[in-house]
Amino acid sequence: MMHPQGKVTVTGTVLKAEFRESQFGEQYKMLVKHADGWLVWSTVPSALGAVKRGDVITFTATLTSSGDPKFAFAKRPTAKAVTLAPLTPEAA
């Protein structure tokens, strides 16, 4: 399925979270997989704090296309983000 565009609420599983250097200094980024199978790369919203692989989260951001119908970039993620379910040792 193709990812949506525009302002969207994304609920998905964190596949990767890491610090990256940019022209704005060090930023905490994440790769999230939506239940429909598409991926989104975003700055971690401050409300989430430290996310880790396997966390199920929801956040709202403006999605733009990367040129790949299954991969989007998120801009301006809102602070009203929440972690719905952290990874449990049994699920690892």
pLDDT digits (tens, 9 = 90+) for 24-63: 899 999 999 998 999 999 999 988 888 999 999 999 999 9
Question: 16 — phi, psi (to 5°)?
Answer: -155, 140
% of the chain at pLDDT higher than 70:
91
Cα gap 66→70, rounded to integer Å: 9
Q: Rounded mean pLDDT of 8-19? A: 95
The reported pLDDT for the residue numbered 91 is 47
* Residue among 30, 41, 54, 46 nearest 79 (CA): 46
The reported pLDDT for the residue numbered 92 is 44
The reported pLDDT for the residue numbered 7 is 95
- Strand partners for 33: 13, 39
